[in-house]
Amino acid sequence: MKEKDFKKFMKTKLEHKKRTGKQMRYLRSLGHHLKPLVMLGRDGITDNVINAADAVLGAHELIKVKIGNGCLLERMEAAEVIAERTGSEIVQVIGKTFLVFRENPDRKDEHRIKLPA
């Protein structure tokens, strides 16, 4: 990894707030009952998939992404790429499904996910 790429990677990692274990458990519990809103197919992660994930994150804050059988990407690689390109955080990766979270300060307070302290 080039030094420039490494600095960009570290800056992205530091921009996200550090979540506590309690907050991550809470997000996982919320995500358990969600249906996948974004599906990855054999084309992998395209600009259309990123745009769809970005729009859904803006509306819901927490989304479940399903990796289809035809997708050639590894699950952790797919989760990291989606999280990086949408500015979100990986909450959980299980099997061919993962959860990502991004706070949306523009949502009304009663619709935002309130994380425990």
Please give the pLDDT value at position 3: 55
CATH architecture, range 20-104: 2-Layer Sandwich (3.30)
CB 38 within 8 A of CB 63: yes
Instruction: With CA atoms as reference, report the closest residue to 34 among 98, 116, 96, 87.
Output: 98
List the beta bridge partners of residue 115.
none
Stated pTM of the model: 0.81
Angle between helices 75-86 and 47-60 (to 10 degrees): 70
- DSSP sequence for 1-19: --HHHHHHHHHHHHHSPPP
Structure tokens given for 94: 């299980």
Q: What is the predicted pLDDT for the residue at 89?
A: 94
pLDDT by residue, tens only, the chain of 117 residues: 455 554 444 444 445 568 889 999 999 999 999 999 999 999 999 999 999 999 999 999 999 999 999 889 999 999 999 999 999 999 999 999 999 999 988 888 888 899 898
d(CA 14, CA 8): 10
d(CA 103, CA 87): 10
Structure tokens given for 9: 């990677």
